[in-house]
Amino acid sequence: MIRLFLSFCALCLLGLGLVGGGLAYSFSLYKTKGFSTQKIQITIPKGTGVGGIATLLERVDIIEYPLLFKMMARITNVQGELKAGEYEFSAQISMEDVFDKLSKGDVITRQVTIPEGYTSYEIVRLFKTKGDLTQDTKMIPKEGSLLPDTYAYQKTDSVQTLVHHMQKNMLSLLEEAWTKREINLPFKTKKEALILASIVEKETGVASERARIAGVFINRLQKGMPLQTDPTVIYALTKGAHKNNGNGPLGRRLLRKDLSIDSPYNTYKYAGLPPTPICNPGKDAILATLNPEKHDYIYFVADGTGGHVFAKTLAEHNKNVAQWRKIRRNKK
């Protein structure tokens, strides 16, 4: 009887030893470098379970033992933490590091930079050049509704997803900026602020000038003067579908006859703000519009260096315009 009991104990110990040895071996394989010889990119579709992930990884030689992968996912309790997305796995990556990458969602990210002042048409056109985005946008978003910035995305993300993100960011920025605006501005709504910010954005590419140019337009609005700004006329002619072929958004220079176009966007013909933004202004243009520089300037014209020269009187402005025309003639 005692001998049988001792034999049973011996078998149990042997079994435990085998199990322990098996676990030790499994953990050794779990931590050992893999046998892939190069970087491998793979997309884990949404909704893929542990078994499906194991199959995909084995198929491209990232892992060698799918059953071990599923077992270790259970032992390490990460079954519900493995995230979908596009991944890049280094050569000879261990299973442990594969789990770490999938658990963190350390996916490949791409970036697209939307320049400040792009129209919605131009932004959608830019998105269409990104072959790794799902092209699901059928309508041009409202002008001024998209916040220019650099946006990260993943392969197969949709254009509409990015559009929604940009719209959310614009609403958030505008709401915050509005609460910090200067008092006694000559407009009453956030939409009007956005319209003027879009004009400021298109009038200068010099960051230090934005608040000053905003101040010029504020002065004009307060005096009941027409804004008389060329970018609004260009928008009247193009509706934002700019050519941008090296000769400006019109594909040519703005002509004097263009200034007579009958459009609510023609700020030479109609005083006040146009009915909508004329582009998607960036953060700095919005902040400058809501906190403009205080001064007495009501005119400005290009100075030939990329910036502008400002004037308080029409006589002074006419001299500046004559100087600008001379500079332009000399550049031909």
Would you state the pLDDT for residue 25? 62
Would you state the pLDDT for residue 7? 38
Whether 249 has a pLDDT exceeding 90, the answer reads: no
Q: Do 299 and 239 lie in a common domain?
A: yes
The domain tally of the chain equals 3
Classify residue 4: in a domain, yes or no: no
- SS3 assignment for the chain: CHHHHHHHHHHHHHHHHHHHHHHHHHHHHHHCCCCCCCCEEEEECCCCCHHHHHHHHHHCCCCCCHHHHHHHHHHCCCHHHCCCEEEEECCCCCHHHHHHHHHHCCCCCEEEECCCCCCHHHHHHHHHCCCCCECCCCCCCCCCCCCCCEEEECCCCEHHHHHHHHHHHHHHHHHHHHHCCCCCCCCCCHHHHHHHHHHHHHHCCCHHHHHHHHHHHHHHHHHCCCCCCHHHHHHHHHCCCCCCCCCCCCCCCCCHHHHHCCCCCCCCCCCCCCCCCCCCCCHHHHHHHHCCCCCCCCEEEECCCCCEEEECCHHHHHHHHHHHHHHHHHHC
Distance of CA 170 to the CA centre of its chain: 11
Would you state the pLDDT for residue 4? 43
Average pLDDT over residues 75-81: 85
Domain boundary among 69, 87, 108: 108
Share of residues in the chain with pLDDT > 70 (%): 90
Between helices 95-104 and 2-31, what is the axis angle to 10°?
A: 60
Q: CATH code at 101? A: 3.30.1490.480
Classify residue 244: in a domain, yes or no: yes
Domain holding 87, by residue range, is 33-108
Name the pTM for this structure: 0.80
Contact present, 250 and 240 (Cβ < 8 Å): no
The dihedral built from the CA positions of residue 300, 303, 309 and 314, taken in this order, carries a sign that is negative
Q: Do 141 and 210 lie in a common domain?
A: no
Would you state the pLDDT for residue 18? 40
Q: Do 220 and 327 lie in a common domain?
A: yes
Q: Do 194 and 326 lie in a common domain?
A: yes
Domain boundary among 92, 108, 124: 108
Domain boundary among 108, 124, 146: 108
Whether 8 has a pLDDT exceeding 50, the answer reads: no
Classify residue 124: in a domain, yes or no: yes
Would you state the pLDDT for residue 116? 96
Q: Do 139 and 228 lie in a common domain?
A: no
At residue 134 the predicted structure's pLDDT band, cuts being 50, 70 and 90, is confident
At residue 150 the predicted structure's pLDDT band, cuts being 50, 70 and 90, is very high
Classify residue 76: in a domain, yes or no: yes
Would you state the pLDDT for residue 78? 85
Would you state the pLDDT for residue 6? 35
Cα(183)–Cα(331) distance, rounded to whole angstroms?
43
Classify residue 6: in a domain, yes or no: no
Classify residue 216: in a domain, yes or no: yes
At residue 277 the predicted structure's pLDDT band, cuts being 50, 70 and 90, is very high
Contact present, 52 and 58 (Cβ < 8 Å): no
Q: Do 146 and 102 lie in a common domain?
A: no
